[in-house]
Every structure is written in C-alpha cells, then in structure tokens.
Amino acid sequence: MTDGDGSQFAAYDAVVYDLDGTLVELAVDWDAVADAVLDVYAERALIPPTEELWGLLGAADEYGIRAEVEEAIALHERPGARESTRLPLGDRLAAATADDESADPHPPAGVCSLNCEDACRIAVETHGLGDALVSGAIVGRDTVGSHKPDPASLLAAINRLGEAPEDTLFVGDSQSDAVTAERGGVDFAWVSELLAE
C-alpha cells in the first residue's frame, strides 16, 4: 500500500489483517467487558481463575460457560464495532482497493481477529472495507473454535483465501498477533512499520 500501489505486499500472494487496533479501533471499554464476564462467573457461583478478560474466556470451556461468556463479550463488541473509528491502515486499504489504475494491486486480503466474527463484519461494513476483503476470509475468535495466539484462526483465514501460509503476510498491532504468526509459520508485519514506510 505504499503510495496506494500495494508494493509493500509484492512478495506475498495474500495478506491477513488483525482488526481492532490495525484497521479500525472498536469503541469498547474492555474493563467493562471484563466486569461483565466476571458477572457471568458470579451468577453461577463460580470462582474465576483470573480477572483478565482473555484468561476468563480461555477458562470458560472448563467451567462449562463458553456460550455465556462469548455473548457477554459480544454484547459490547457489536455496538463498539458500529461506533468504531477507521484507522490509517484501514484508510490505505480502502484507497488501494478503490484505485483501479494501480499497477501493483493489493493481493487478496482477509481478517483474523480476537473479536467475534459478528463484530468484525459490522466494522468492515461500517467502514466500507467490504470490497477490500474476501468475505469468506473474515475470521473471528468464534469462527473456528480457536482464537489467537493459537494459529488455527489465522491459518483458517489463509486457507479461505486459497493461499499457503508461507506466501501470506499477517499484519497486526499486538504481541499476540506476532506470536500467532510465528506459531503458524506466517510472516508478520507490525502496523506501525507499514505506516512508517
């Protein structure tokens, strides 16, 4: 997407993006989300193993409350996706897709997010990124029953793009994203690096 021409991705057949913090910023108070999930545990007289949101989600299967925890999180993510802000890399992706004169078009792209798939799709629609992304390759934490840093969700997005991990670049903003890429054998780029070029 350097100068809108996609040359940063010339070595790759596909690109997968993280969503929140990379393409958009969801309007979510994550502390409030963690409190809502703690309430799910408390309502069932369960002692939570941690107060950290993603640790609570990770333990939900063991406690038999995965669906309830997922919904408690999604109840915040869906409106947060509608009220989200498109970030500079999202702007560049939209511009590169709209540039029909591009000599080096952007490769097929998908999303691998720790957010639920509904929130991902809402954010993509809200910010007009639908033309830039392959709809079937939008993978949230609930899409394949596994979430980052387990690489299964990233590999699912790549598979849905019809490409191989070694020919794909994963772009994200967190250490979890970097670990996910490493575990999946996928090259990784920090969003900050792409914006600096």
pLDDT along the chain (197 residues), means of 10: 57 96 98 98 97 94 96 98 97 79 74 97 97 96 91 98 98 97 97 88
CA angle in degrees (0–180, nearest 5) for 180-66-85: 55
How much of the chain, in percent, has pLDDT values that exceed 70? 92
Task: Please report the pLDDT score of residue 4 as a whole number.
Answer: 43
Could you tell me the residue ranges of all domains in the chain? 2-25+85-196, 30-82
Fold of 2-25+85-196: Rossmann fold (3.40.50)
Q: For the purposes of burial, counting CB atoms within 10 Å of the CB of 43, is it exposed (0-12), middle (13-18) or buried (19 or more)?
A: exposed
Task: Please report the pLDDT score of residue 1 as a whole number.
Answer: 39
The tens digit of pLDDT for each residue in 48-63 reads 999 999 999 999 999 9
Task: Please report the pLDDT score of residue 2 as a whole number.
Answer: 39
Pairing of strands 85-86, 168-172: unpaired
Q: Please state the pTM of the whole predicted model.
A: 0.91
Task: Please report the pLDDT score of residue 101 as a whole number.
Answer: 54
